Structures are given as structure tokens and as C-alpha cells.
Amino acid sequence: MRGTRLWLLIGVIALLVSGFVVAGCGDDDDEGDGGEATTEASTEDLGLITEGTLTVGTDTPFPPFEIGQPPNISGYDIEIMNAVAENLGLTAEYTDTGFGTIFRDTANGQFDTAAAASTITKGRENAVDFTDPYYEAQQALLVPEDSDIASVDDLSGTIVGAQDGTTGETYANEETDASEVRGFPEGPNAVSALVTGQVDAIIIDQPVAVDAVEKQGGVEIIEEIQTNELYGFAVAPDNDALREAMNEALATIKEDGTLDDLYEQYFQTTPPESVQGENPLLTND
């Protein structure tokens, strides 16, 4: 009798243990399925051109933001975008295009987003929406080393170069007395025009000017123009889901130190407080 009871007790304990094991396995499977379903649903809802891929328009070269040509492309913008894509479980694929058409092409669905050292402006937000900022930029006045130009106040009657469609070109047109503002398709084209004497000065993003001084030679930054511009990634205005997902990814790489590390790598400084905030022109309320 005692033996029978013992075997019954052993059987009950075995059943209980088996039940816990099965329940534990079932919980793991449920969590796995739920996580995969959430990830799949979140990417499917982003309105991507190609599932699993973040199709990115860019304008290169524009060192140190865009360096090289796709697929062998690098630079600050590219590394930030790669980190955003990785955070979303996507692969970023880049296409080189002209800066003058990049916002229109993004709005028309040729790209999911654009990474092109793009300042967030009210005018551009008539065509596209922007993510939260990831860089604060200033402009710079770049001149030949033997130039008599000492500041933007000395630009009266001169020919000033800038890249087409940029805030540098806008500044030259609206804030100087240059006799002509000459646009160029790429930033390096404007620098080359300065070196060869086609223009007397150029106004361009400060880090690009620094890169030109270091690598081109024969030119110098005579004045840094405090414009406090914020760069964002452009997204089609009807794709709030992608913009919001990218903002969440940007928040993550700001919090985990990735953005700080890339800022230090490319600009030898830490990001200002303005970069930690939201798109200042967002008007979706």
C-alpha cells in the first residue's frame, strides 16, 4: 500500500513538472511570435518602396557628410542613416541625385527618404517633411589665401559662388551685396571655381569649408557665419509612419551615444543641445 501511494505521488510530481516545462516553452514561443509579428507589422506599415530596404536619395560628394559614390559611400550623414536603418531592421540603399531635385523626388516617391546635409526650412517643408534634427550647421565664407575680402561686408561688387539650391546660395542672394551669385551643381564644383578664379568667394557649410581648407589648399575660411541651421532627413509628406519611426530610431542613437561618437569622429566636438530636440518646424498638431 505504501509503495502504491509512493508511485502515485511520483507520478503526480512528474506531471506537474512536465506541465511547467510545457508552459515555459509555450511562453517563449508566444513572445517570439509576438515580437516577430510586431517587427514585421511595423516595417510593413512604413510605406517603403521595397520591403526590408530603406531607399535613400543623396547628393555626393559633399564631404564630410557624403563621401564617395554609391555603393561605396560614407560620411556623417551616411553613418547616421545607416544607424537609423539598422535600428528599424532595414538595409539602407543609396542613390546619387542632384540636390536641386532631391526634395521633389522624395515627395514623388522616388526615394523613401533623403540624406543630403539638408537644412530644415519652411520653404522645403512645402514639399517634404523632415525628421528631428541630427546636426547643427553654420555657413562659412571661403576665399583664396591672398584675397582682400575680410568679411561678408566686403562682398559688394564681387562674384560669390555657392551650391545650387542650398541655404548658402540663399544667404549670398539675400544677405550680401554681391554683383552676382553663381550656382554650381556640387559643393566641390564651387570650391574648384574659387581655386581657378571663376568666383571671388564662396559661401558653403562650415564643415565642407574646413574639409576644403585641409584637402584642397590655397583657400581659407575668413568668416564663420552663424546661421544655426538644423539638418534633418526628408520624408514624403504623406508618410507620417516612416517619419515617426525614423524619429524613434534617431532618439535611440542619441540616447545610446552613437550620435555623440559620430559627432566626435567627424567634427571633433560634441553635439549641441539643439540637436537633441525635435523638428522645430513640425506643424502636425
| 150 close to 142: Cβ distance less than 8 angstroms | no
Cell numbers at 70, concatenated: 554609391
pLDDT over 50 (residue 90): yes
**DSSP letter string over 157-204?**
T-EEEEETTSHHHHHHHHH---SEEEEESSHHHHHHHHHTTSSSEEEE
pLDDT in tens, 39-68: 444 667 899 999 999 999 999 999 999 999
Closest CA to 9 of 23, 24, 22, 17: 17
pLDDT in tens, 7-30: 444 444 444 444 443 344 334 444
Q: 137-229 in CATH: which number? A: 3.40.190.10
Q: What is the pTM of this model?
A: 0.81
Buried-state track 146-181, b at ≥16 Cβ within 10 A, e below 16? ebebeebebbeebbbbbbbbbbbbbbbeeebebeeb
CA 122 to chain centre: 18
Closest CA to 113 of 214, 243, 200, 263: 243
Domain boundaries, given as residue ranges, for the chain: 53-134+232-276, 137-229
Give the separation between CA 246 and CA 242, rounded to whole angstroms. Answer: 6
* Residue 223 in this model has a pLDDT that exceeds 60: yes
pLDDT tens digits, one per residue of 167-199? 999 999 999 999 999 999 999 999 999 999 999
What is the pLDDT at residue 217?
87
Cis peptide before 64 (omega within 30 of 0): yes
The torsion of the CA quartet 148, 150, 153, 156, rounded to 10 degrees, works out to: 20
Cell numbers for 269: 566636438
Helices (DSSP H) in the chain: which residue ranges? 2-44, 76-87, 102-107, 167-175, 187-195, 206-215, 240-255, 258-267
> Fold identical between 53-134+232-276 and 137-229?
yes
**What letter does residue 113 receive in the DSSP assignment?**
E
Backbone angles phi, psi at 69, to 5 degrees: -135, 145
CATH 3.40.190.10 holds for 53-134+232-276:
yes
Type of residue at 226: Q
